[in-house]
Amino acid sequence: MKDPGWDTAAALGLDIVGAAVPFVTGLGQARHLTGIANRADNIPIPTGTTPRTAGTLKHTEAERLVNLKLPNLNTEVSYLGGISDVTRGTKGSVRLDVVEGLLKNPTEVFDFKFGKAGLSKSRIDNIYGALPVGSQNIPITEIRPGALPTRVNGLGAAYNLSQDIGGLFGGDSASGGFVLYPSKPNINMMQSVYAK
C-alpha cells in the first residue's frame, strides 16, 4: 500500500480547517440569517404600506424566524451604557436585531437591512458605544436579502464575508465551507470543482 504522505495529511488538515471556518468566524450564522432575511423579505405586504412600515413588518418576521430556527441567538436586544437588560424602547438605548454570545459579553452583532440604506458610521458608532466594555471591536454584520453579508470590524472597515472563505454564499466559487482543490473531486460535497 502506498504511503499517503504529506499531500493527504495536508488535504485532510485543510478540509478540517475549511469545515470549521464558518462556525469559528460566525459565517455559519450569517449564512443562516441571510436565508431568514430572504424569507422575511417575501412576506405579503398590504398595498399602500409605507416603506418604513414594510421594513418593520419584515424585521418582525425575521425576529420570529430567528427565535424559531436559531434559538441560540438573541433578538431585539436593547443596550444602554453597556447594560443589556434594559427594557425595549428605553430612551437613549440602542436596539440590536440579533446578538450572538452572552448578552454581557457579545461576540457578534447582526443587523438586518431590508431597504436601500446600509449601516452608517453613526449607527456603527452608536452600537459600539452602547455595548459592554470590551465589546467595542466585535464584528457587526449587515444581513441583506439576496446579498452577501457585509461585516464591519471594530476599526470601521467593511468587507464582504465571501472573501473569508472563497464564496461560501454563492458566486462562482464552491460552497459548503470546505477548502476545495481546483480540478479535483470534492468528496465531502460529492461535487467537482474546476480550475478558473
Summarize pLDDT for 69-126 with one digit per residue, the tens: 999 999 999 999 999 879 988 999 999 999 999 999 999 999 999 998 888 999 999 9
Give the residue, 194 or 81, on which the prediction is more confident: 81
Query: Which of the pair, 14 or 68, is modelled with greater confidence?
Result: 68
Give the pLDDT band of residue 3 (cuts 50, 70, 90): low
SS3 139: coil
pLDDT of residue 117: 87
Question: What residue ranges do the domains of the chain occupy?
Answer: 30-160
How many other C-beta atoms are found inside a 10 Å radius of the C-beta of residue 33?
A: 26
Please count the CA atoms within 13 angstroms of the CA of 140 that sit on its side-chain side. Answer: 26
Predicted local distance difference test score (pLDDT) of residue 26 = 53
94-102 vs 185-186, strand pairing mode: unpaired
pLDDT over threshold 70, residue 55: yes
From CA 81, how far away is CA 147, in angstroms rounded?
32
Give the H/E segment covering residue 121.
Answer: helix 121-130
Three-class DSSP category at 151? strand
What tens digit of pLDDT does each residue of 141-180 get?
999 999 999 887 654 444 455 444 444 444 333 333 333 3
